[in-house]
Structure 1
């Protein structure tokens, strides 16, 4: 099975949608990394921090369920056994759910330091 990329203009919108789905499950420190031009693996990484294994599982399941409703099926998923770093590959967008410890240890933003990074703000809590 080969990976099929969707049109680039939809990738940014889908990345934002994935970030919103992460917010639905109270994910923390959500960031969208635009890696177009830096790698051919994907267009965007959407990363977040989870406070527990059940929350990581809930975020992952929510992403998969809601994206399937949009007709977007994950191409690959890994890390679901340990839940300290879960990766869900939607081809143009790769969602990554980190535990606090794994997020600090891997310092993913530093690894992709040349990427354009957009911090996602929870509008519901930002207004309180």
Structure 2
């Protein structure tokens, strides 16, 4: 189940030209908050919002899944979409460089998904 939603989320990000797309497989990390993180960035808040909207639309249309929780859509500097087993982080480019989320979870298996 989780791998399928990961594929759908990545497709949604790619359709709206998200940049530096990675997935982090956290399943082998004890006490990880979820199975997968998907992380990407975009150069404008407009694009961050468009990516988030497209991911939510696509996961609902193709999988019947809505995020359990989402936040950050108003400011669109760091949008979080929580699908329970998979959490999506869509950053404005400077925020991604500042928070370096992938460094915090570097014990996970990181895979790049740039088209």
Where on the TM-score scale, by shorter chain, does this alignment land: which range? over 0.9
TM-score by length of 2: 0.93
User: In the comparison of the two structures, how many residue pairs are matched?
Assistant: 113
Structure 1 runs (4+) deviating above 3 angstroms are none
Greater relative contact order: 1 or 2 (C-alpha under 8 angstroms, separation 6 or more)?
2
Deviation at 1:101, TM superposition (A): 0.7
Deviation at 1:19, TM superposition (A): 0.9
Quote the residue 2:22 is aligned against.
Answer: 31
Rg larger in structure:
1
Matched, 1:103 2:86: no
Assess if the C-alpha contact under 8 Å between 2:21 and 2:41 holds in 1: yes
Structure 1: which 5+ residue stretches go unaligned?
Answer: 1-9, 123-128
The secondary structure found in structure 2 opposite 1:72 is: coil
Deviation at 1:121, TM superposition (A): 2.4
Deviation at 1:57, TM superposition (A): 0.7
The secondary structure found in structure 2 opposite 1:113 is: coil
Quote the residue 2:74 is aligned against.
Answer: 81
Matched, 1:47 2:34: no
Distance in 2 separating the partners of 1:40 and 1:73: 22
CA RMSD of aligned residues (A): 1.0
Deviation at 1:40, TM superposition (A): 4.2
The secondary structure found in structure 2 opposite 1:80 is: coil
Structure 2: which 5+ residue stretches go unaligned?
Answer: none
